[in-house]
Structure formats: structure tokens, C-alpha cells
Amino acid sequence: MEHPIRYNALFGIFLLLVGLFTLGVGVMVGKAMLMFVGGLNAAVGFGFTTRPFVVVTERGVEMKNLLGMTMRTHAVPREHLAVRSGSIVDARSGKKLAGGMLARREDLESLERALAKK
């Protein structure tokens, strides 16, 4: 079973609002560069609010980019994973695989409960 870990919603909403503000200013003053930067920033902020950046599967932990492509795979079986201090770690070696301030706490807590059941 796959378990997605999404980006922190506050960070995504902040980027989205800053992008929309910059886009609006660009439209008002008529600067194409501001419109481009604002639109790009808003698109990235929207991606942060909707896309997972880590997917935990039975085979391991997959790091994703905003387009959904797998960028890196940590081949750690699910039974050797743990959640410590807001990060997903390899319980055998203690190596941090993903997490930190970008991870949504609710998703990490849900993963921790799912790992405890096994």
C-alpha cells in the first residue's frame, strides 16, 4: 500500500499567495517579466499544496518532484522504517530518508500509526 507524504500546506499557500500577488502587480504595471515570475511562483505554490513529495511503498521510500516523477528511491523495506522527530528514518542505521520542515505533520503521524500496526 502506498502512503503519500505531502508538502507542508502553509509553505505551499504562502508561495501561491506571493505568486498571485506578484502576478497581479505585473498585470497592473504591465511588466511581462513580473507576470511570468508571478505565474511561475503561483504554479509552484499550487504544486506544493497538491502533490506529494515522498511516497512510502512496500519496497521503500520514493522521492518525487512537483511533476510527479520519481527522483530518488531508497530501497528500505517498510518494516525497517520509522518516524522520528518529523522525519522518515531507516530504523536499522538511523539514516534520515525524508522529512523535515517540508513534510506535512498529519501525513507523518498517519504513517507512524500505519507503521506501528505492522
**Of residues 71, 92, 72, 73, the one with CA closest to residue 81:** 92
Chain segment 44-94, per-residue pLDDT in tens? 999 999 889 899 888 889 988 888 788 888 898 888 888 888 888 888 888
**Of residues 90, 108, 93, the one with CA closest to residue 52:** 108
Burial 62-99 (b: 16+ CB within 10 A, else e): bbbeeeeeeeeebebebeebbbeeeebbbeeeeeebbb
The whole-model pTM stands at 0.79
